Homo-oligomer: A and B are copies of this chain.
Amino acid sequence: MDSFIIKGDICWSKSKTELNTVRDGYLICEDGVCAGVFRYLPEKYAMLPMLDYSDKLVLPGMVDLHIHAPQYAFRGLGMDLELLDWLKTYTFPEEAKYAEREYAEKAYSIFVSRMIKSATTRAVIFATVHKDATILLMDKMEASGLISYVGKVNMDRDAPDDLREPGAEASAYDTFGWLNHIFGSYTRTKPILTPRFLPSCSETLLNELHEVQRAYEIPIQSHLSENPGEVELVRRLFPKTAFYAQGYEQFGLFGNSGKTVMAHCVYCTPEETELIRKNGVYVAHCPSSNMNLASGIAPVRKYLDMGIHVGLGSDVAAGESESVFRVIANAVQVSKLYWRMADDSCRPLCFEEAFWLATRGGGEFFGKAGSFDPGYEFDAVVLDDRDLFIYNDLTVEQRVQRDVYLGADIDRICAKFARGTRII
């Protein structure tokens, strides 16, 4: 069933700063594409099957532009270190376990089952360096009905022996092998080139990845200017590059070949920021993670004012939860602290803007996603939030705001669709 009607209290972004809401409205899915929202059911859709979610909230599916699937196992733990020590102490040892198929099978099953239960319909995902485990994850994501980009990680230096790939050629070889293996296998799950971050990649590897990118024309994801210690490390490892992003760009890995998303962007220099804009690179803003690893706060207002593409990332497990609702609330909260403590020319984000980032903003990376405007791919979540507004009449917009602030996504979702396919 790819054509149907959902009846309920519907909300989506009208613009970056405004929400559209229709109480008791009709949301039409036609062949997996949104045909619009109506106060009264148009005659021409009267024959479609109707899913009656009266009094429930209907939102576009959330888009998570940055999440590490293998780190789900230690979410909410190990929040006592900064990025580089956190990677060595918690992350790398956990990721090394995915060499074993049995562990990957168990852990990724749970990750995918939780992604299904969340409000997220689309995600851009880091796997590990392991080809087989990455394919396993992609198989599971495809079976879930969710829509994703999944990347086998590349790292040939500055990592423990059991996780570091044995040289740039071996890393590239495995990446080709991975891409060949999955070619044509999926309709909802796409590969994305994933150099972990500059410190994990030799120049030889970056050059090899450039070849991979040219051969397969796939998009690219990585991390950029997250933490002062990391930025300093990049300066030492790449003495010839003027700034962090240049290390990617000179190998065609910064929006100058394929579509690119960079997580964090907390400490971008003006030149770097300008390159992000010029090359149309997406910023995955990860406020929860940036608090937990004591990284700081990204100047999202500046990025939006410059017309840079921005979406939100949970960044599990540096972010404690896969709930994009929580990330929306954190995005507003830290923008207020940034305005108060760092730069009072950066007006805080309003709720509507953060909601837009989590839907349309990130959705653009996937094409036409994150909206109920006609022509958008049909991603929707239905929330039963009636217990949260029992004694005062709230508007649909107020309910959205409360649900998001309270993180009332997980456990309240009673239906979910991606590209018109029912997931829950």
Contact = CB atoms under 8 A, between A and B. Distances in A.
A244 interface: no
Interface in A219-277: none
A391 B294 contact: no
A341 B406 contact: no
A77 B332 contact: no
Given A73-B391, A392-B73, A406-B321, A337 B334 contact: yes
Given A106-B391, A337-B297, A391-B110, A402 B292 contact: no
A3 interface: no
A405 interface: yes
A420 B334 CA distance: 40
A329 interface: yes
B402 A75 contact: yes
A394 B329 CA distance: 28
A16 interface: no
Contacts of A77: 394, 398, 401-402, 405
A305 interface: no
A336 B411 contact: no
A296 B340 contact: yes
B294 A340 contact: yes
A359 interface: no
A398 B330 CA distance: 23
A107 interface: yes
A405 B80 CA distance: 13
A102 to B, nearest CB: 11
Interface of A: 73-77, 79-80, 106-107, 110, 291-297, 320-321, 329, 332-334, 336-337, 339-342, 348, 350-351, 390-392, 394, 398, 401-407, 411
